[in-house]
Amino acid sequence: MKIIKKLLSIVVILLILLVGFIFYHAQDNAIVTTEEIIPDDEAEQTQRAVDNFIDVITFFQTDKAHRGAHAKGHACVKAYFDINDNINPDLQQGIFKQADTSYKTWIRFSNGTPKIANDAEKDSRGIAIKLLNVVEQGQTQEFLLHNSPAFFSTNLDDYNDLVESEDKLQYFLKGYNPFNWRLRELSNVLNTLSPPPYSPIWEEYFSNTAYKLGPHNVKYKVQSCQPFNQISEQDQTDPDFLQKTLATELENGGACLQFMVQLQDANKHMPIEDPSVLWKESDSPYIAIATITIPQQQFDTAEQQQFCENLSFSPWNALAEHKPIGALNRVRKMVYQASSLYRHQFNKTDVPQSLDW
């Protein structure tokens, strides 16, 4: 009986320690502000990130240089981005200022890895949205999202350390002290590396990073307007089955996506500088403010695929009312510029200037 009591005591102590351990790693040190905080070493860390990104591109390039992230595009499709007519007046900022406005749009769906991989592999999935002729001819507004609501690095220094690490698992589980491990960030990575969706239009996409919406700070989300509806069988042995499934869907009809915003509440734990912290929907629910309509079409021609490959996307192609904010967004400005320049020079191609359709 004494042995059983001892064992029970040990189990209880271990459970208490486990709960404390999990609680410890669920916490973060992010400061909640409504304004950006720029570290003294950000310029140095930004150049480090640019160099790392170019290294990733050169590591995976063959006869072609691909994007340093989201290298494999499934499609670039034509769409309409329609501003909803029932938006709260306080949210009518930038492109959302005029209800019932419609923008011609290009949408690129992609896998997240920097290598051209089989669609069946666990990976992040992305959507890049390019609105045409906002405010004036030739000006674009672009939104970039992927399929996880929280990023896997807390700051720019950590991101660079991860990219430079030869053993990614050791980066998250460094040393013998488990209290120094990065379990929250590792959890975010594992949530991102998910099995493939049935097709790209049935995935949920999140911005991770924050943006201005006039005086507000927001994050974005894109999801299907309708419940899931499988229209054909997939052959997942085909390495490009996501592209082919999407092609079948859009040959048979169109698709509808909702574009949503989540407002920062500075009284809640919703930091703008640490994209690894999830903004809880219970603190601030998403609000639908636009509808994306993808009409029936054929997109998988060689010409359109090459056009898609040559396109360049950046969250900094944006109106001032939608300015990207936070450390990760600030570094993306320089990284994406350098990446696009290197890729197009290596491939001897130009960024398409004629985008209208």
How does residue 4 score in pLDDT terms, banded at 50, 70 and 90?
confident
Tokens of 227: 């419940």
* pLDDT tens digits, 219-248: 999 999 988 877 667 788 899 999 999 999
* pLDDT tens digits, 278-306: 999 999 999 999 999 999 999 999 999 99
Selected residue with higher pLDDT from 67 and 2: 67
> pLDDT at position 8, please?
62
Q: In whole angstroms, how far apart are CA 198 and each of 62, 96, 121, 189, 262?
A: 29, 31, 13, 21, 26
**CB contact at 8 A, 94 and 213:** yes
Q: In whole angstroms, how far apart are CA 84 and each of 88, 98, 157, 239?
A: 10, 9, 39, 37
* pLDDT tens digits, 14-38: 555 444 445 444 556 789 999 999 9
User: What's the rounded mean pLDDT across residues 81-106?
Assistant: 96
Any idea what DSSP says for residue 271?
-
Residue type, 304: Q
**CB contact at 8 A, 234 and 249:** no
The distance of Cα 272 from the centroid of its chain, to the nearest Å, equals: 15
CA distance linking residue 119 with residue 123, whole number of Å: 8
> pLDDT at position 23, please?
47
Residue 155 half-sphere exposure toward CB, CA atoms < 13 A? 14
| Residue of 170, 162, 176, 169 lying closest to 190 (CA atoms) | 169
User: What's the rounded mean pLDDT across residues 159-179?
Assistant: 88
* pLDDT tens digits, 300-355: 999 999 999 999 999 999 999 999 999 999 999 999 999 999 999 999 999 998 89
User: What's the rounded mean pLDDT across residues 198-210?
Assistant: 96
Triad 326, 336, 300: Cα angle to 5°: 120
How does residue 118 score in pLDDT terms, banded at 50, 70 and 90?
very high
CA distance linking residue 200 with residue 242, whole number of Å: 7
**CB contact at 8 A, 247 and 296:** no
* CATH architecture under which domain 31-347 falls: Beta Barrel (2.40)
**CB contact at 8 A, 244 and 204:** no
